[in-house]
Structure 1
Amino acid sequence: MTDASYHLSFRLSSRQQFISDQLITNYENATNSIVLAVCGSGKTEISYAIIKHVIENGGRVCFTIPRRQLCIELHERIQKDFPHLTIGLLYGGYQENSDAPLIICTTHQLYRFVSSPFDLIIMDEADAFPFYGDDVLNSIFYHASKRYIKLSATLLEEDIHDECVMIMNRRYHGHDLPVPHIYIIPQFLWLISLKYWIKKLLETHQKVLVYVPRKSDAQYYADLLKDTYKVQGVSSESLYLNEYTKDFKEGLLDVLITTTILERGITIEDVQVIVLEAGDRIFDERTLIQIAGRVGRKIGYEDGRILLIDNHYSKAMKECIKTIQKLNRMSV
């Protein structure tokens, strides 16, 4: 029998344990699952028991995520937690251990397994680009899986069909989710406002993450701030995205200015967030919820600021706040 034993660095909460057990029950009952779990709630670790169950009973499991960088980070993380298990990794231009009992891959790579479906596919960030809304990728996903679990913080009602849905509205530390604050400021004062809030936040916190809507904005604002702060701008076109992100996590940068390339999958201790031009259409409700989810993830830094700055309110800004407040009121 394949050894799929694992270890966790923390003990599952009662809600996490309930969902973990229910995933196994659903699998045994041939029922697909959806876990709606807030950002930073430990939804990856919730899936460990079902991975172990399937593999130790002779099945194969795939953990798939739409974006390549998240797959790379997840592979490193899960390999540490499952020390005795061979784990495959596949993304565009790279292939390792493709016959392993556990595969981690981008959603694009699932086409390789349509003729030999996995006993279970776990999809994280099921509402993320480029998978979400792509009919071809969705068809491949369903053909490559005998049974599936979708994990997300922001799936909507129309994304749910006949799956068993489980909700986790609390992070593992049990604190409320930080709620964003909206600041309506004339455009000609945006730079002054940005400088003011960065200075104010850095007086009591270690790092400030600034989101902007366009790739050109990231370098533009970084250039304006570089004489005052240790700052970099990043986007999907950045050659050193991983290096700058690592520097920011390690405290070598005060400020990181980014597009939505870092809206998901990044955990940074004691980070505060500013969204500049938050009413831009690229910042829809899902994206703003994911961005807000960067704050308050770690024990010791459960609270924090999320500032939404623009010269007008958007529906997405209001809905983001309403959804987070609703989650904080829920009793599950």
Structure 2
Amino acid sequence: MLKAIQAQHDFPLWAVTGAGKTEITFASLAWAIESQWRIAFVTPRIDVCNELYPRLQQTFPTVSILLQHGQAQIPYQYRQLTVCTVQQLLHFVKAFDLIIIDEVDAYPFVNNRLLPQAVRRARKATGVTCQLTATPPAKLVRVFRRDANKELAILPLRFHQQPLPQLTIKVCSTTPAILAGQTQRYVWWMNTIARWVQAGYPFLVFVAVVEQLEMIYRYIKHHLTTSSIRGTTVHAGDPFQVQTVAAFRNREYTFLVTTTILERGVTFSNLQVLILAADARHFTATTLIQIAGRVGRKSATPTGEVLAVCQQYTWALKRARREIAFLNRQGKNLVTK
């Protein structure tokens, strides 16, 4: 990455979830800062900006850094390094020498015609763009397959050199009725949850839509024999989303029932994951890979379970398992070389 930036070449990076994409940029950022370049580190999502900002402040304590997004309370000021949502680039024209875009596959950047134009408009004529992703959009991959002069760098290994957690797919015909609130009958995946609780593991339960959150939360609480286990729900429209996630990280909650809002941009130690109705259309292959990537991110706890409960083995589930297996093979080859 550093060599490409120094040569003023764009640099796309496909790095697996938990590879340490942010840390990979640090050497390039340090060089660009020393070279007096103006830098934008952008991401499509506010929550990722909020996590990124303090990490960059800690790494570059002498650099003036600005945080900008729709919910930020800080008024705009010129800073050498700006951390912002990609939408904020609509306010800039030929301003930045280096633009790093994290999560280029995430909404609203992916499949959006306006925002890539905003990136090009905000970059100086001699500027450089670095695109980072753990799940590259098919369109991006096709561009590099067609053009032999363009290269997509791939990092198939996590920083702790352990494989990505693979999806364990199991069928449960009762789950749809539970999601609809039509039954409280005990099902086998509650045994998995009980085992996690007994082991003291925090866990996330993913559902497809907001309407299912409270139903599943009540179901789990009803069947847990330990009444002291605390949990709650979280979703994109939750006004206490940031506080809830922070409380979960601090172990004030044992579990969260969540929508795909927590599919990316968050790291928790010793995490286990359950995906209910994993065959729902909301769970695309990209989403499933990102969800699985929440597990095993810490070097002290590099493993964990990702249980996907479904009625049908969908194309998205197949593709997610296939891509995780492919990256793990590539990572294994990298370690053994």
Q: Is the pair's TM-score, using the shorter chain for normalization, greater than 0.5?
A: yes
Q: Secondary structure at the match of 2:187?
A: helix
Contact 2:94–2:121 (CA under 8 A) maintained in structure 1 = no
Q: Is the 8 A contact 2:174 2:187 kept in 1?
A: no
Task: Look up the match of 2:188.
Answer: 193
| Alignment of 1:170 onto 2:148 | no
- Structure 2: state its 5+ residue gaps: 145-149, 179-185
- Asked if the contact 1:31/1:164 (under 8 Å) is kept, the reply is no
Q: Which residue is 1:260 aligned to?
A: 260
Give the conservation status (yes or no) of the 8 Å contact 2:110–2:137. Answer: no
Question: Is 1:138 aligned to residue 116 of structure 2?
Answer: yes
For 2:15 and 2:30, locate their aligned partners in 1 and report how far apart those are by CA, in whole Å: 21
SS in 2 for 1:74: helix
State the shift of 1:193 in Å: 3.3
Indicate conservation of the 8 Å contact 1:205/1:271, yes or no: no
Is 1:104 aligned to residue 91 of structure 2?
A: no
Q: Quick one: distance in 1 between partners of 2:53 and 2:271?
A: 24
Conservation of the 8 A alpha-carbon contact between 1:187 and 1:311: no
- The answer to whether the 8 A contact 1:65-1:124 is kept is yes
Q: Distance in 1 between matches of 2:77 and 2:131?
A: 22
Q: Once the 2 structures are TM-superposed, how far is the Cα of residue 88 of structure 1 from its aligned partner?
A: 0.7
Distance in 2 separating the partners of 1:156 and 1:108: 19
User: What is aligned with 2:31?
Assistant: 53
Q: TM-score, normalised by structure 1?
A: 0.89
How many residue pairs were aligned? Answer: 309
SS in 1 for 2:57: helix
1:288-322 deviation per Cα after TM superposition (whole angstroms, max 9, x unaligned): 00000000111121111000101111111111111
Q: 1:155 aligns to what?
A: 136
Q: Calculate percent identity across the aligned residue pairs.
A: 31
3-state secondary structure, aligned to 1:119:
strand
Q: Tell me how far 1:217 sits from its aligned partner.
A: 1.0
1:117 aligns with 2:117: no
Provide the rounded CA distance (Å) in 2 between the counterparts of 1:133 and 1:233: 29
Classify the secondary structure of the residue corresponding to 1:226. helix
- Offset of residue 204 of structure 1: 2.5
Question: Given the alignment of the two structures, is residue 232 of structure 1 paired with residue 210 of structure 2, yes or no?
Answer: no
For the residue of structure 1 that corresponds to 2:77, the secondary structure is coil
Query: Residue deviations 1:90-110, cap 9 Å, x none?
Result: 111534553111000001100
Structure 1 CA distance, aligned partners of 2:172 and 2:14? Answer: 34
For 2:279 and 2:120, locate their aligned partners in 1 and report how far apart those are by CA, in whole Å. 35
- How far 1:276 sits from its partner (Å)? 0.3
- Distance (whole Å) between structure 1 residues aligned to residue 6 and residue 246 of structure 2: 41
Distance (Å, rounded) in 2 between the aligned partners of 1:90 and 1:300: 33
Find the counterpart in structure 2 of residue 92 from structure 1.
70
Tell me, which stretches of 5 or more residues in structure 1 are unaligned?
Answer: 1-22
Aligned residue among 196, 211, 214 for 1:219: 214
Look up the match of 1:249.
249
Does structure 2 retain, via aligned residues, the 8 Å contact 1:88–1:96?
no
In 1, Cα distance between equivalents of 2:159 and 2:248: 24
Per-residue CA deviations over 1:169-224 (Å, capped at 9, x if unaligned) read: 11111111111100011135766234222112222242111100001111221122
Q: CA deviation at 1:323?
A: 0.7
Q: TM-score, normalised by structure 2?
A: 0.87
Alignment match, 1:10 = none
Alpha carbons of structure 1 residues 304 and 93: separation in structure 2 relative to 1, 3 Å:
closer
Show the counterpart of 2:43: 65
- Give secondary structure in 2 for the equivalent of 1:202: helix
Note the 1:64-83 alignment, pairs <5 A. 64-83=42-61
Q: Do 1:110 and 1:141's aligned partners in 2 also have CA atoms closer than 8 Å?
A: yes
